[in-house]
Amino acid sequence: MVQVDTAETGQGGAGRRGTASGTWRSGIRRAVRLGSRPEPWRRGPVLTALALLLGLLMSLHARIPNRIGHLGSLVENLLPWFGLFVPVLLAGALWRRSAVAVAALLLPVIVWLNLFGGLLGDKSQPGGDLTLVSHNVGADNPDPAGTARDLIASGADVLALEEITSQDRGTYEERLAKTYPYHTVLGTVGLWSRLPLSDTRPVEIETDYGPLAATKPADVKLAGNRALRTTVATDQGPLAVYVAHLGSVRVNPRAGFWTDSRDRNAQALGRAVAAERNERVVVLGDLNGAVDDRAFDGLTSRLRSAQEEAGDGFGFSWPATFPVVRIDQILVRGVEPTSSWVLPATGSDHLPVAAAISW
């Protein structure tokens, strides 16, 4: 006869019922947690807002007012770097598993590519009738002779120098004379050429250094004139060349992005170019700003950037140790840039910039 231990059976049933009850309660809690968790299309509202704000900031940069600390100009000079916020926001969106934030990032990506996508490829072409080089040689350059040697090695036909001090002028004239038999220096700017020069004259722009004046070494003397215009005689006809070093800019707590002198210089240079009768014009120099800066509308409406037309990449030129912005420009009208590039560092805090042009 088989006997059934009812006590044991009761205990086992109670254990199974307890296990089932615990599993049921755990399932309820899990369902509650899942139900309270936002769906992927509702997660990350802050990341979504930041992505949209970034896209609007880049697309509407021209509408950012300049009245307070020249904020608009500051944004326009640093505009390419705003693209770095995209991978940061993307990482946050993936971490939050926010589908809407990922979708919102399409706006800044599209805007950035529309603004700068054309600079990512190499647009240079072989050849060119004339090679141009522009270099801010630096007032505190410890090796002007070495800088002159490096510039000769660039193979430039026309060489523009800015921020020439009275102490270093003789060095540049002596070292460059053999390669460039024709040259002119007015104030702190000069042009050396393999081809004859004529009709040289100063371009009247202000010489105020603003907040930069206090930062110049006491033994460094800078002459007043900061821009000139001359004519280079080429086989294809005369080429009007402007060499300019516009006023400096500074970021400080009181004035914000201080650009007053630079902006007035840009307007004066723009007026001079507008009055230029020669169809073929080149502007070389340290403009202390990117071509996207609204301060240069008077120039960029009449001239094209050689770097944007025929360069490889952004061509950042300052500071030389880690370039973050292109403030040294080669602008053209009536000629075609075939290539544009940045030369290796010299003793200056700027990198030399070069371009080949053709007719």
User: pLDDT (tens digit, 9 = 90+) per residue, 186-201?
Assistant: 999 999 999 999 999 9
Distance, in Å, from the CA atom of 86 to the CA atom of 47, rounded to the nearest integer, reads 11
* pLDDT per position as a tens digit, 156-170: 999 999 999 999 999
- Please, where are the H alpha helices in 81-181? 85-96, 99-104, 106-116, 144-153, 169-176
At residue 37, the pLDDT reads 55
Q: Is residue 72 pLDDT above 60, yes or no?
A: yes
At residue 31, the pLDDT reads 46
- The rounded percent of the chain whose pLDDT value lies above 70 is 83
| Candidate from 32-36, 329-333, 343-347 with smallest mean pLDDT | 32-36
Distance, in Å, from the CA atom of 48 to the CA atom of 97, rounded to the nearest integer, reads 12
Find the distance separating the first CA and the last CA of the chain, reported in whole Å: 116
At residue 211, the pLDDT reads 47
At residue 132, the pLDDT reads 98
| Secondary structure (DSSP) of 235-270 | TTEEEEEEEEEPPP-EEETTTEEE-HHHHHHHHHHH
What are the residues whose beta carbons fall under 8 Å from the beta carbon of 221, sequence distance 6 or more? 165, 166, 167
Name beta bridge partners: 183: 192
At residue 8, the pLDDT reads 45
At residue 29, the pLDDT reads 57
Confidence band (pLDDT; 50, 70, 90) for 155?
Answer: very high
In the predicted model, what is the mean pLDDT of residues 330-351? 98
- DSSP structure class, residue 332: E
Per the listing, tokens 């509407």 go with 60
Q: Is residue 97 pLDDT above 80, yes or no?
A: yes
In the predicted model, what is the mean pLDDT of residues 148-162? 98
Confidence band (pLDDT; 50, 70, 90) for 60?
Answer: very high
Per-residue tokens: 51: 């992505």
In the predicted model, what is the mean pLDDT of residues 277-300? 97
Confidence band (pLDDT; 50, 70, 90) for 4?
Answer: very low
At residue 35, the pLDDT reads 46
In the predicted model, what is the mean pLDDT of residues 128-135? 97
* pLDDT per position as a tens digit, 304-324: 999 999 999 999 999 999 999
Per-residue tokens: 88: 């940061």
* pLDDT per position as a tens digit, 216-248: 444 444 456 899 999 999 999 999 999 999 999
At residue 15, the pLDDT reads 52
Q: Is residue 185 pLDDT above 70, yes or no?
A: yes
Confidence band (pLDDT; 50, 70, 90) for 68?
Answer: confident
Distance, in Å, from the CA atom of 318 to the CA atom of 303, rounded to the nearest integer, reads 22
At residue 256, the pLDDT reads 81
In the predicted model, what is the mean pLDDT of residues 267-295? 97
In the predicted model, what is the mean pLDDT of residues 123-130? 94
In the predicted model, what is the mean pLDDT of residues 249-254? 82
